[in-house]
Every structure is written in structure tokens, then in C-alpha cells.
């Protein structure tokens, strides 16, 4: 295969995909309104979909530095003796979905960790006495050490799943002429998603590094959404379609 053919093959597919382009979004329904109110009180997050830098919710979208496109796996059984002399064969009989992980860089307010802790706190706070303790704004270290824990002899009651489950949308994005995430060839919608564990957050003396937190999520099933970005015509036609500029040669000369 010639170099020109190789380059043209890449171009026909819209270019190569790079792993550092993606978008995540937690979508909570109307039945989770009590949890959203609880989340606002605990963390100050007013919108989980925000890209406004003044809203802590923007941290969850912008600072997510590790994500995964979920896998699909088959549960298989074994069949023997189908034909004389044939060894056992595997056959699929059910589809199941494994967990996945998301990771965040943390701001000074530790917003991603507070979000995850509050979410898990709500799952086990059906009695209203097992959630995180909010000591108020700007509490100093000396005052924070005086805050009393929840009573030891407290019962743990779970909230109903519909009050905390959400849809998690993970979209693979690529650069385009108009934006760094303009092209979105595939998106996964993870239904009935919730965190089942928050990984330990390492802290240590030595070289300063950004604090990171990661969590693991279960979900019931997912739906995959496709969008086609293959080049159907010439590169010039595709560029004209994406930019809306017909005379790209003149536009390039004007910029130069």
C-alpha cells in the first residue's frame, strides 16, 4: 500500500481519533429532585450540566480527566457433542454490562470528591442521620477539628433506587473547524447509573501534584448512539460543509 493510499484512507475516515477528546454528563430525572436539593445544600452545585465557571457543577465536566467507553460482554454457555469428534463450543445466551471508572482532578474545594461522597451518602441516608456533615463556609482547620461526628449508634437505611439513579452520557469528541469538540461520532447512554465505590485518594509529602479522585459505577444497560463523520465527497466539499464557506481559497488568502 502506498503512502498516498494510507493518507487518503485516514482522510476518508475523517482523520485519526485521539483519546483526549470526550464529554461526560450526568442526567438526573424528575424523581431525583430530593437528591438534587440535598446535593445543592451539601456542595453548592446548582447545575450538573453547567459550563459556567462560577458554578461548581462545571468542575465535574471540565475536570474529568479519565473516562472510559463501556464494554459489552456476552455470558456464554458450553455445548458438547454437537458433531462427532468436535470439542466443546461456547455460545452466547445473555448480554451483561460490567462496571466502569471515572476520574477527576480536584480543585481546592474538592468539589468532585464532595459530589461523589454526597451521592453515596444519599444512598445510605434514608434515616437522615448518616450523611456528610457540612460545617459551613470557610471553616478553619482548628474549627474543623472541633466538629462532632454523627452519632455512633445510628441506623443506616437506604433510599429507594429511583431517588438516586441517573443516566450517564459519555460522548467521544474530536476536533472540528468550529470547536475543539465539534465532531461527536459515538455516544454511550448508561442507564440507571450509580457509584458503588470511591477509590482511596492518595496524599503524600514530596513533589506537589494535583489531587485526583476516581470512582467506580454500576449501571443496568446502555444505549449506543452513532454519528457518521466519514468523508462522502472530496476534502474540499467536506471542509465547505463544515465551515459554511464556499470559497475556502479566497478565505485562506484573506487570513494570510
Chain segment 67-121, per-residue pLDDT in tens:
999 988 999 999 988 888 888 899 999 998 999 999 999 999 899 999 999 999 9
Task: Encode pLDDT of 6-51 as tens digits.
Answer: 777 777 777 888 889 999 999 999 999 999 999 888 888 877 766 6
Please determine, for residue 210, whether its predicted confidence score (pLDDT) is greater than 90: yes
Q: Mean pLDDT across the stretch 200-227?
A: 93
pLDDT of residue 245: 58
In this prediction, residue 195 has a pLDDT band, given cuts at 50, 70 and 90, of very high
In this prediction, residue 238 has a pLDDT band, given cuts at 50, 70 and 90, of low
Superfamily for 3-72+88-132+155-231?
Hcp1-like (2.30.110.20)
Backbone angles phi, psi at 195, to 5 degrees: -80, 135
Q: Mean pLDDT across the stretch 152-167?
A: 91
Q: How far apart are CA 251 and CA 245, in angstroms?
A: 8
Kindly report whether the global pTM for this prediction surpasses the value 0.85: no
Residue 69: all three cell numbers together: 467507553
Lowest pLDDT segment from 17-21, 56-60, 131-135, 232-236: 232-236
**Contact between 32 and 26 (Cβ < 8 Å):** no
Q: Which residues have CB under 8 Å from 13's CB, separation 6+? A: 229, 230, 231
pLDDT of residue 253: 47
Please determine, for residue 211, whether its predicted confidence score (pLDDT) is greater than 80: yes
pLDDT of residue 149: 85
CA angle 138, 139, 142 (to 5 degrees): 145
pLDDT of residue 226: 92
Residue 217: all three cell numbers together: 459505577
Question: Using the 8-state DSSP alphabet, how is residue 121 labeled?
Answer: H
Q: Mean pLDDT across the stretch 183-209?
A: 93
Question: Using the 8-state DSSP alphabet, how is residue 135 labeled?
Answer: -
Number of other residues whose CB lies within 10 A of the CB of residue 10:
11
181 compared with 242, residue with greater pLDDT = 181
Lowest pLDDT segment from 59-68, 142-151, 169-178, 179-188: 142-151
What are the beta bridge partners of residue 156?
none
Amino acid at each position: 500500500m502506498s503512502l498516498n493510499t494510507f493518507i487518503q484512507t485516514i482522510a476518508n475516515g475523517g482523520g485519526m481519533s485521539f483519546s483526549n477528546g470526550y464529554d461526560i454528563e450526568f442526567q438526573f430525572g424528575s424523581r431525583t429532585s430530593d437528591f438534587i436539593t440535598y446535593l445543592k445544600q451539601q456542595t453548592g452545585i446548582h447545575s450538573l450540566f453547567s459550563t459556567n465557571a462560577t458554578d461548581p457543577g462545571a468542575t465535574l465536566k471540565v475536570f474529568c480527566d479519565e473516562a472510559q467507553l463501556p464494554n459489552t460482554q456476552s455470558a456464554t454457555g458450553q455445548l458438547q457433542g454437537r458433531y462427532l469428534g468436535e470439542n466443546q463450543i461456547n455460545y452466547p445466551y445473555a448480554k451483561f454490562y460490567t462496571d466502569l471508572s471515572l476520574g477527576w482532578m480536584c480543585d481546592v474545594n474538592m468539589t468532585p470528591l464532595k459530589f461523589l461522597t454526597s451521592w453515596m451518602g444519599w444512598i445510605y441516608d434514608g434515616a437522615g442521620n448518616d450523611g456528610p456533615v457540612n460545617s459551613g463556609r470557610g471553616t478553619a482547620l482548628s474549627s474543623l477539628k472541633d466538629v462532632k461526628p454523627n452519632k455512633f449508634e445510628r441506623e443506616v437505611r437506604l433510599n429507594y433506587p429511583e431517588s438516586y439513579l441517573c443516566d450517564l452520557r459519555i460522548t467521544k469528541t474530536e476536533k472540528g473547524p468550529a470547536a475543539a469538540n465539534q465532531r461527536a461520532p459515538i455516544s454511550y447512554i448508561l442507564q440507571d447509573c450509580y457509584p458503588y465505590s470511591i477509590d482511596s485518594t492518595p496524599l503524600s509529602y514530596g513533589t506537589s501534584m494535583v489531587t485526583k479522585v476516581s470512582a467506580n459505577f454500576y449501571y443496568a444497560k446502555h444505549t449506543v448512539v452513532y454519528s457518521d463523520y466519514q468523508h462522502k465527497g472530496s476534502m474540499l466539499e467536506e471542509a465547505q460543509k463544515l465551515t459554511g464557506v464556499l470559497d475556502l481559497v479566497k478565505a485562506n488568502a484573506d487570513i494570510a
